[in-house]
Chains A and B, each alone.
Chain A
């Protein structure tokens, strides 16, 4: 039993060593991959919510705030924007570091999608777009 497990592990290691196949390595390590084009698209399409957040904070910055401003919203928006920015930067850096790759970690796309959804949810909850339109 132990010998069988050792042989199986050795077989997998050898396969990974000789294959050079990133997809196979990803499957073996439990990492889900997506086409690089999806990572590029995700990294490029996140800015509307982020810019809306910036505009809202600027709009609500004066000591005497205009109608519709919510400090509670801004307290949630700020870390959400930073998370989104970090996710986008990580994806862009991965593309830069792996110029020949055709697939990449799906986690990069997931991180951007989740961060973007979180920010959009906060903005919808506080009707941010209607305040600064």
Chain B
């Protein structure tokens, strides 16, 4: 499972250098990557550190690429928050079993993607319609 994830992430990583500018094809490529990440992120709660780090850095690369649309940025932030939530869930689990340790728990951010609809494969970028 971990090996399959790493191969998949490697394939996605190969697409990252092609993401430049704000053309319709760039938007479509980002949509495809986000769609894949939406499927991958729920698997990360039990994934190895290297896999989680790879996904996290992929999200960061897309977020800071300057090519993502506002809707895509919102989705990327939700994915990022979902990974943050895994950490906070671990802290909560620890604090429950070790109440005397003095660890403060924190409610995870809007990490869930319930109600989220994956972006369509075709772009809705207004610049693409011109």
Contact = CB atoms under 8 A, between A and B. Distances in A.
Nearest to A129: B49
B57 A55 contact: no
B63 A92 contact: yes
Given A75-B101, A78-B91, A43 B64 contact: yes
Contacts, number: 71
Interface residues of A, number: 33
A71 B49 contact: no
Interface of A: 39-40, 43-45, 47-48, 50-55, 57-58, 60-63, 71, 74-75, 78-79, 81-82, 85, 88-89, 92, 95-96, 99
A61 B98 CA distance: 8
B10 interface: no
Nearest to A96: B73
Interface secondary structure of B, over-half rule = helix
Contact of B53 (A48, A57, A88): A48
A2 to B, nearest CB: 47
